[in-house]
Amino acid sequence: MSDSTSMTSSIIRSLGRAKGLDTAAKTVSGWVDAVTHPTWIKNALSGSWLGHQLHPVLTDLPIGAWGAAVALDLTGGEQSADAARRLVGLGLIASAPAALSGASDWSSTRGADKRIGFVHALMNASASTLQAGSWLARRSGHRRAGIALSALGLGLTLSSAYLGGHLSFVRGIGVNRTAFQRQTSSWTDVAADSEILDGTLTRVVVDGVPVLLTRQAGRLHAISAVCTHAGGPLDEGTLDADGCVTCPWHGSRFRLEDGGIERGPASVSEPIWAVSVDDGRILVRSPAAA
**pLDDT value of position 1:** 55
SS3 assignment, position 228: coil
SS3 assignment, position 40: helix
- Determine which helix (DSSP H) or strand (DSSP E) holds 71, and give its type and residue range: helix 55-75
Report residue 44: phi and psi, to 5°: -65, -45
Instruction: Name the DSSP letter for residue 253.
Output: E
| Contact yes or no for 229/254 (Cβ under 8 A) | no
| Contact yes or no for 213/222 (Cβ under 8 A) | yes
- Angle, in degrees to the nearest 10, between helices 22-35 and 81-106: 90
- Which residues, at least 6 apart from 144, have a Cβ–Cβ distance to it below 8 Å? none
**pLDDT value of position 6:** 83
**pLDDT value of position 225:** 97
Give me the DSSP letters along 104-172: HHHTT--HHHHHHHHHHHHHHHHHHHHHHHHHHHHHTT-HHHHHHHHHHHHHHHHHHHHHHHIIIIIS-
**pLDDT value of position 137:** 98
**pLDDT value of position 62:** 98
SS3 assignment, position 204: strand
SS3 assignment, position 177: coil
- Nearest CA to 63 out of 192, 162, 168, 210 is that of 162
Helix-strand-coil split of the chain, %, nearest 5? 55, 15, 30
Q: Which residue type is seen at 33?
A: D
Instruction: Name the DSSP letter for residue 265.
Output: S
Largest distance between two CA atoms of the chain = 83
> pLDDT averaged over consecutive 10-residue blocks of the chain (290 residues)?
76 96 97 96 96 95 98 94 98 98 96 98 98 98 97 98 96 93 92 94 95 95 96 96 96 96 96 95 80
**pLDDT value of position 290:** 45
CA count, 13 A, side-chain hemisphere, 189: 5
